């Protein structure tokens, strides 16, 4: 069983105009279990994207460590951004092939799993937003990461498309389980997807509560179950109402 252990003692930004320092993260500790799907829920500006950027090594200006345990090595990380960020001059297939050492049959399997086999040779400008999001998810899965970071990847999708992409994501993750850290402002989305919810506060970022989602995965399509769980959360953890 390997875990990703995140320990950040300090992450601060220096304001370029008045040179003041703002501490965004202080003494944050989060552990992700093997194959665990965790959703981060917190107010705007609390530092969620900052945290993901640190985990993706896009930001190295922090104090702390990110380790795969028990190996004590760096986890292999993939990142799905809010904006799919596909290269417009490359086809769908070339986009997913770019960062991956996966065999062609694996890429074909991923495309088929996401319902995109017919779009293999299409260019991004011919794809809908929902299709582009699916391509960006395939691109991340194709790298076979230890840890997949997802920063509000389904915002601005219409509800039926968001639901379809969520179901495809879970289907793909079930076939190749690994750790996922998923940022969302949508509590229903978080309950639908996660094994565990982590509620965050800001200034500096801290964990308010960690809540396992106890609804069996095969019952999560029942909106009544999601809604009951959501309402019970507000009763058991009244402090989370301020975050949403």
Q: Minimal CA–CA distance to 83: which of 135, 161, 141?
A: 135
Query: Is the four-CA dihedral 45, 148, 95, 57 of positive or negative sign?
Result: positive
Q: Closer CB to ligand ATP, residue 46 or residue 55? A: 46
Contact pattern from residue 36 through residue 65 relative to ligand ATP, giving x for each residue in contact according to CB under 6 A and a dash for the rest? ------x-xxxxxxx---------------
Closest distance between ligand ATP and the C-beta of residue 144, in Å?
A: 26
What would the 3-class secondary structure string for 186-224 be?
Answer: CHHHHHHHCCEEEEEECCCEEEEEEEECCCCHHHCCCHH
Q: Closer CB to ligand ATP, residue 133 or residue 220? A: 133
Query: Is the four-CA dihedral 12, 189, 240, 216 of positive or negative sign?
Result: negative
Q: Closer CB to ligand ATP, residue 23 or residue 228? A: 23
Q: Closer CB to ligand ATP, residue 111 or residue 183? A: 183
Is residue 190 involved in binding ligand ATP (CB under 6 A)? Answer: no
- Tokens 């990142």 belong to 79
Query: Is the four-CA dihedral 233, 33, 52, 89 of positive or negative sign?
Result: negative
Closest distance between ligand ATP and the C-beta of residue 107, in Å?
A: 31
Closest distance between ligand ATP and the C-beta of residue 13, in Å?
A: 3
Interacting residues with ligand ATP between 11 and 30 (CB under 6 A): 13, 24
State both tokens at 31.
Answer: 């552990």
The size of the interface with ligand ATP (CB under 6 A), counted in residues, is 10
Closest distance between ligand ATP and the C-beta of residue 160, in Å?
A: 24
Closest distance between ligand ATP and the C-beta of residue 77, in Å?
A: 17
Q: Closer CB to ligand ATP, residue 45 or residue 177? A: 45
Q: Minimal CA–CA distance to 26: which of 182, 211, 207, 149?
A: 207
Q: Closer CB to ligand ATP, residue 13 or residue 123? A: 13
State the CB neighbour count (10 A cutoff) for residue 125.
Answer: 9
Closest distance between ligand ATP and the C-beta of residue 206, in Å?
A: 13
d(CA 239, CA 234): 8
In 70-146, at which residue ranges do the beta strands (DSSP E only) sit? 77-80
**Which residues are at the interface with ligand ATP (CB under 6 A)?**
13, 24, 42, 44-50
């Amino acid at each position: 069983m390997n875990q990703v252990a995140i320990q950040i003692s300090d992450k601060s930004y220096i304001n370029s105009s008045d040179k003041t320092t703002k501490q965004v993260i202080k003494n944050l500790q989060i552990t992700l279990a093997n194959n665990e799907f965790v959703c981060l829920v917190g107010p705007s500006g609390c530092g969620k994207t900052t945290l993901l950027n640190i985990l993706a090594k896009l930001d190295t200006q922090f104090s702390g460590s990110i380790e795969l345990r028990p190996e004590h090595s760096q986890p292999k990380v993939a990142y799905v951004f809010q904006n799919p960020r596909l290269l417009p001059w490359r086809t769908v297939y070339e986009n997913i092939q770019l960062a991956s050492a996966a065999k062609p049959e694996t890429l074909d399997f991923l495309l088929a799993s996401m319902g995109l086999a017919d779009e293999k040779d299409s260019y991004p400008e011919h794809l809908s937003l929902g299709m582009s999001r699916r391509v960006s998810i395939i691109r991340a899965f194709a790298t076979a990461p230890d840890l997949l970071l997802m920063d509000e990847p389904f915002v601005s999708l219409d509800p039926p498309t968001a639901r379809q992409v969520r179901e495809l994501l879970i289907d793909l993750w079930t076939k190749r389980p690994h750790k996922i850290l998923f940022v969302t402002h949508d509590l229903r989305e978080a309950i639908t997807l996660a094994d565990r919810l982590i509620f965050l506060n800001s200034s500096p970022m801290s964990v308010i509560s960690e809540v396992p989602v106890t609804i069996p995965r095969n019952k999560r399509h029942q909106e009544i179950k999601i809604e009951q769980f959501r309402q019970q959360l507000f009763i058991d953890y009244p402090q989370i109402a301020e975050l949403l």
